[in-house]
Structure 1
């Protein structure tokens, strides 16, 4: 079994701990997109989206690919895509508990 340092695991999971970052991940789950495309799709502002993209990139969840004057952002690999899908699968079974959880209001 793989052994990952607890602090590293917490930093990685932090990438998934904000609504805007989850929106970004869902937005680029199937296709790479530029910042402008992401901003339009999730109706955010460019500065805020860029900060969240930096966090996701720093956590190793996404990658950026330069093409001309644009940077295209996408998920790092299939495992991250699978993890996002697994979140949905797990949440399907516990969504009512999560909805009523008062410990983590965000």
Structure 2
């Protein structure tokens, strides 16, 4: 189960999406515009994040507003930043590091 959860955080686009909706819910169009992605790709990543239980969607009319599932997910994103500050030089030097 942990592997599936961690998989949700293991892609650059998914992290960009999570950062985009960290403070407020947004529609697919708003996310696409903010992170400069394409709608099909973003929608696939949203489905992954929703399937992993990391985000939720709220229907309003013809729109779906996406947000983080709860404060724990928000805290986890913040913790990633805190840990990264400690290890960023090592991460930058990692030969297997993927942007």
Q: TM-score, normalised by structure 2?
A: 0.98
Larger Rg: 1
2:59 aligns with 66
- What CA deviation, in whole Å up to 9, does each residue of 1:50-73 have, x standing for no partner? 000000000000000000110000
SS in 2 for 1:33: coil
Structure 2 residues not aligned, in runs of 5+: none
Deviation of 1:103 (Å): 2.3
Structure 1 residues not aligned, in runs of 5+: 1-7
Give the Cα separation in 2 of the matches to 1:43 and 1:21.
13
C-alpha contact (below 8 Å) 2:26/2:65 kept by paired residues: yes
Task: Say yes or no: does 1:105 pair with 2:69.
Answer: no
| Moved beyond 6 Å, runs of 4+ | none
Give the Cα separation in 2 of the matches to 1:102 and 1:56.
28
Deviation of 1:105 (Å): 2.8
Deviation of 1:100 (Å): 0.8
Q: TM-score, normalised by structure 1?
A: 0.91
Work out the number of aligned pairs and report it: 99
C-alpha root-mean-square deviation of aligned residues, in Å?
A: 0.7
Of the three residues 31, 39, 47, the one matched with 1:54 is 47
SS in 2 for 1:73: strand
